[in-house]
């Protein structure tokens, strides 16, 4: 892919990604690790089309997705990619079911169908009995599982997660880890996970370390 990305900060140009290239195969779970500030989140945002690289390509099914116009790129992002972040970004005024429904409603599905899909995926993550609870009534681990459900409602081909357990205690982190691994094992979902949690990273198919703007395969 030969991805390059730099930012201008206080008059200086900071090169974050310097020719990063990696292949991701269908059904893999890849950990992206490395020190703080090396560009892990930037790489994930580019893979998820939230940011554009300064140069380089992201190929998906033989297409350079950054050759798409903005509308086509937004449609691709909505249909093919699910996102889970360290901070769940749930809407506090809505309950769990309504939060999970949101991507389906944005896609244009009717409310009845969006509700059906949201209920199914909440069952999948073990939260069907908490579906009518507001965000503030859920534990941290439950909130993150709602975020995973929201990312999965449209059955994306790819799940991108940025420190999905970085804000959770060790025991709750294990619950989320097990959920992600079961999704891969049972549904074959492809996942790229940025993490400082080496216990999680070691459970995944491969580990890539970002160092000096380059991708270094570990295992």
How would you write the pLDDT of the chain (219 residues) with one tens digit per residue? 789 998 887 777 888 898 898 889 999 999 999 888 888 999 999 999 999 999 998 999 889 999 999 999 988 888 889 888 877 788 999 999 999 999 899 888 999 999 999 999 898 888 889 999 998 999 888 888 898 889 889 888 899 998 887 777 787 788 778 888 888 888 888 999 998 888 888 889 899 998 888 888 765
The region, left, alpha or beta by phi > 0 then psi within -120 to 50, assigned to residue 189 is beta
Rounded Cα gap, residues 4 and 17, in angstroms: 5
- Angle among Cα 112, 101, 48 to the nearest 5 degrees reads 135
d(CA 52, CA 17): 12
């Amino acid at each position: 892919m030969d991805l390059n990305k730099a930012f201008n900060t206080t008059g200086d140009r900071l090169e974050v990604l310097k020719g990063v290239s990696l292949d991701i195969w269908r059904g893999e779970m890849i950990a992206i690790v490395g020190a703080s500030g090396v560009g892990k989140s930037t790489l994930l945002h580019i893979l998820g089309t939230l940011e554009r690289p300064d140069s380089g390509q992201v190929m998906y099914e033989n297409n350079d997705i950054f050759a798409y116009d903005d509308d086509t790129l937004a449609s691709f992002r909505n249909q093919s990619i699910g996102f889970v972040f360290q901070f769940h970004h749930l809407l506090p005024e809505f309950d769990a079911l309504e939060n999970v429904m949101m991507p389906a409603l944005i896609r244009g599905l009717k409310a009845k169908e969006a509700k059906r899909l949201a209920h199914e995926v909440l069952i999948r993550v073990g939260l069907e009995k908490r579906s009518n609870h507001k965000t503030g009534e859920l534990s941290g681990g439950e909130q993150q599982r709602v975020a995973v459900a929201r990312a999965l409602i449209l059955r994306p081909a790819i799940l991108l997660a940025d420190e999905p357990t970085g804000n959770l205690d060790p025991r709750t982190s294990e619950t989320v880890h097990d959920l992600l691994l079961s999704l891969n094992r049972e549904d074959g979902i492809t996942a790229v996970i940025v993490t400082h949690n080496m216990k999680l990273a070691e459970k995944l198919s491969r580990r890539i370390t970002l160092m000096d703007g380059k991708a270094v395969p570990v295992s």
